[in-house]
Chain A
Amino acid sequence: MRDSVTIVGASLAGLRSAETLRRDGFGGRISLIGDEPHQPYDRPPLSKQVLAGDWEPERALLTPAEKLEPLGLDLRLGVRATGLDVAARELEVDGVAEPFDGLLIATGARCRTLPGTGGPVAVHTLRTLDDCLAIRAALDDGARRMVVIGAGFIGAEVASVAVGRGTSVTLVEALPAPFARVLGQEMGAVVADVHVANGVDLRCGVGVSSVAGEPGAMTVAMADGSDVYADLVVVGIGVVPNTEWLEGSGLTLDDGVVCDPTCLAAPNVVAAGDVARWTDPRTGESMRVEHWDNAVEQGRHAARRLLATDEEAEVFAPVPWFWSDQYDRKIQLAGRPHPDDEVRVVDGSTDERRFAAFYGRRGQLTAVLGMNRPRQVMQGRGLLEQGVGWDDALAVAAGWD
C-alpha cells in the first residue's frame, strides 16, 4: 500500500484523480501541485460562458470549496514542478528536490503560438483563466473587429461568443476546409456553414504571413497579399503537451508522456489527460486525447492504476468524446473518424442543422457526430463501445425514429 501520492497538475485530470483516490478509500497524503495561482477551475466555460460575460470566474471552479476541503488535500498552488528523477524517486518543485511515493503526471498542454508573432504584439491565445479574462476585457472595451486564426473548436467557440457580443469576426484557416481534419470534408463544411450563417467572414485555404500593430489597431497580413484589420487577434492553432520539465527524467517522451496501455509511464509513475500518450487497446493506435471527458476518465483510471498491483492493472480503452457549443448548436463527436471514412446521416438532416451522422470504415462504425442530437450521439457511443459493425449500427439507427 502506498503512503502518499503526488499529483502534478491541478486542473481537471489532476483534481479528479485526487477525488477518485479519496473515494476509493486512500487515506494517505495527497499533494496536488499546480503552477497557476487560482483554485482548480474548469476550462470549457472559458471559451463559452465566462468569455461571454454570462458567468463570473468563480462559477467555473471545478470543485466548490465546501467539497474540496473534506478531501484533505495538500494543495500547493502557484508552484511549478521543474524536474523529475524516476530512478531516484525524486520530484523537483521550484528547483527543490523532494521524494515521492506514487506520482501522477497531469501537466496538460499549452497553446501553440503562431510563428512570427512573439514579442510585444498583442496576439491572444486561450487556455487559462487569465487568457480568457484578457480577451473578455478587450471585448468589454468595445473591440468591434476580431480576427480568429485557426478554425478549430476553440477558435470556433471564440468566434461564436464574439459574434454573440456584437463583434464582427473574420475566421482564418490555412486548410481548405475548416474542421476537416477532425470531421472530414463533408461534415466540416456543415459546421463551417453555421459560422457563415451567423455572419462570420470565413477565409479558408490561406495562411497568415504576419500580425502587426497594437491592441485596437492590428493588421493581419494574409499569404495571398490581402490585409485584415482588427482590434483584437486570437490564435487557436492547437496545443503542445507540457513535457519539457521531464527531459532527462527517465520517462519516454514523444509528443507527450508515453505510457503503457494501463497509463503507467514507469514504476510508481502514471500520466493522465492532455499530456499522456498511450496505445489504445481498441485500435492499436498511439493516442493522446485533449478532450475534457478524457481528462476525467483517464485521471480516474490513472489514479486507480497507481494503487493497483501489476496483476490488477486494467487497460485504458475509452471511446473518446467531446462537445462544442457554437451559437445555438451543440456539436458532439464520439469516436475517432478518419478524414476519408464513409459518412452517413442517420437521423435528422444537415439542412436543418439538427442531425446525427455515422462514420464507418472497413465494415466498422468508427464515430458518431451529432448537431443538437445528444441522445443519438450517446446511443452511438454505446455502439462504439460494443464494437458494433457498420451494417448493424445502421440497423439500430433505423429504429431511432
Chain B
Amino acid sequence: MRIVVDYDLCESNAICMAIAPDVFEVRDDDLLHVLNEAPGEDRREKMEEAVQRCPKQAIAIED
C-alpha cells in the first residue's frame, strides 16, 4: 500500500495527522509531509479513515 497526496488539493486541515501522526505531519510551514509513504497492512483501516475524512479528498491509497 502506498499513500499518495494530491498537493494541489491539500489545504493542510491536518485531519490526517490527527488520525495517523506516524504517517502524516503538518509542520510549522503549514504544509503536509508524508512521513511514511508505504505503511504496513496493519495501518490500512487508519489510512482508509484518513482518505474518507480528508475534507479535500486529497489522499489516495495505491495498492
Residues in chain A within 8 A of chain B (CB atoms) = 16, 19-20, 23, 42, 44, 292-293, 296-297, 300, 321, 323, 325, 330, 332, 372, 374-375, 377-379, 381-382
Contacts and interface: CB of A to CB of B under 8 A. Distances in A.
Contacts of B13: 323, 330, 332, 374
A382 B52 contact: no
B15 interface: yes
Contacts of B53: 293, 296-297
Contacts of B17: 375, 378
Q: Which 8 A-B pairs have the closest CB atoms?
A: A374-B14, A378-B14, A378-B18, A375-B26, A374-B12, A378-B17, A375-B14, A296-B53
Main secondary structure of the interface of B (DSSP, over half): loop
Interface of B: 11-15, 17-18, 26-28, 30, 48, 52-53, 55, 57
A300 B18 contact: no
Contacts of B18: 378-379, 381-382
Contacts of B30: 372, 374-375
A293 B15 contact: yes
A24 B26 CA distance: 30
A323 B26 contact: no
B29 to A, nearest CB: 10
Contacts of A293: 15, 53, 55
16 contacts: A23-B48, A44-B55, A321-B15, A323-B55, A330-B13, A332-B13, A372-B30, A374-B12, A374-B14, A375-B14, A375-B26, A377-B14, A378-B15, A379-B18, A381-B18, A382-B18
A377 B18 CA distance: 9
Given A325-B11, A381-B18, A292 B55 contact: yes
Contacts of A19: 52
A18 B17 CA distance: 25
Nearest to A334: B18
Nearest to A48: B11
A375 B52 contact: no
A125 to B, nearest CB: 22
Given A292-B55, A378-B15, 9 more contacts: A23-B48, A297-B53, A300-B52, A321-B15, A330-B11, A330-B12, A330-B13, A375-B28, A378-B14
B42 to A, nearest CB: 16
Contact of A378 (B26, B52, B55): B26
A273 to B, nearest CB: 14
A378 B18 CA distance: 6
Contacts of A323: 13, 55
Nearest to A330: B11
Contacts of B27: 375
Contacts of A379: 18
A152 to B, nearest CB: 18
A323 B18 CA distance: 14
A259 B50 CA distance: 26
A186 to B, nearest CB: 24
Contacts of B26: 374-375, 378
Contacts of B57: 42
